[in-house]
Chains A and B, each alone.
Chain A
């Protein structure tokens, strides 16, 4: 069965530091992978997605993620964090058929940014 694990429930970084949020998935075939961000008091917004091709994908707000099939991972990175990046980050995986109704969501990682 498909599953998504975000090992870190909560992460705190200093403003200007680099960031990596981990996401591991379990899926038998090539997965479709997503990162969404939920800013305080807001709904979720798509940061980036991986469908195929280049394993390093660029997203909005200066984020990128790298798909590593051998490690079943899709980690989110940002070279320099801004205070406005404090939010909840969700990794999600989808399978064959491309159906949003079948997305599997991770439990989220809460990011705090120290000034």
Chain B
């Protein structure tokens, strides 16, 4: 089944404790992206990747890191999480970045930073 898999689904952590949210897609998609979703703010793009080893900042990259060493994986790293990073995070992928190929989303990771 074609899908984008995020793990974990829920995560509670404390300020400053490094964490990684994994994202994997099995559709051989070139484009991958991370969003955060907050009430009243909608979806905001954190980072995106056009292909392996090609990543770039989105609208709200501060406090996050990403890597794209393999085509299928695009982990989101919070080196020193803070409470303002409490949010619902989504990973998405598409065949390419051009021509608005449909975005496929994971089921989300709800992160709470205390």
Number of interface residues of B (CB under 8 A): 27
Q: A98-B100, A100-B33, A101-B48 are in contact. Are A43 and B42 (CB under 8 A)?
A: no
Number of interface residues of A (CB under 8 A): 23
Q: B-side interface residues toward A, CB under 8 Å? A: 4, 31, 33, 40-43, 45, 48, 50, 56, 58, 90, 92, 94, 97-108
A51 within 8 Å of B by Cβ?
Answer: yes
Residue of B nearest to A34 (CB): B100
Q: A-side interface residues toward B, CB under 8 Å? A: 32, 34, 36, 41-46, 49, 51, 90, 94, 97-101, 103, 105-108
A49, B101: Cα distance in complex, Å: 10
- Within the complex, the shortest CB–CB distance from B28 to chain A, in Å, comes to 16
Residue of A nearest to B6 (CB): A43
**How many A-B residue contacts, CB cutoff 8 Å?**
62
- Within the complex, the shortest CB–CB distance from A13 to chain B, in Å, comes to 22
A34, B45: Cα distance in complex, Å: 17
- Within the complex, the shortest CB–CB distance from A37 to chain B, in Å, comes to 11
Instruction: Check if B45 sits within 8 Å of A101, measured CB to CB.
Output: yes
Instruction: Check if B107 sits within 8 Å of A107, measured CB to CB.
Output: no
Q: A45-B105, A108-B42 are in contact. Are A32 and B100 (CB under 8 A)?
A: yes
A17, B106: Cα distance in complex, Å: 31
A51, B98: Cα distance in complex, Å: 13
